[in-house]
Structure 1
Amino acid sequence: MADRVLPESEVEDLEDLIQAFGKLFPAEAKKLIASHRLLQRRVTELEDLNLNWEQAFAELDTP
């Protein structure tokens, strides 16, 4: 899932959609953006934790 990259056209469409949503519902847009940022941080933390585990297991396998 982390490897999924949106094509540029989809990114632009998504950005346009978020901007339009923000104009119609500014308070909800702020909450959505804050939630998204929090989710991004959590995903990064989990990816880092996974990398640490992978490194630890690799060290165990090394003679």
Structure 2
Amino acid sequence: MPIPLLIPIVAAGAGATGYWWITSKAENKEPSFTSELLAVLQPLLIIIVILFGLRWLYQQGNSTAKKNIK
């Protein structure tokens, strides 16, 4: 079946599921300072948590290696 013939079927399916009605009903709110700040800091916080986790794993392995050497 050619793609142009599928477009009305997809559009009817989206209309039947209420997708357009739900998305058109959503309000566009002004972002607050805290939500914007968290959106900006989220990647940095994730990187910091990953680095602390890797540091902890390194220390665990390092202490185990020192015990095995003695």
What TM-score results when the alignment is normalised by the length of structure 1? 0.49
What TM-score results when the alignment is normalised by the length of structure 2? 0.44
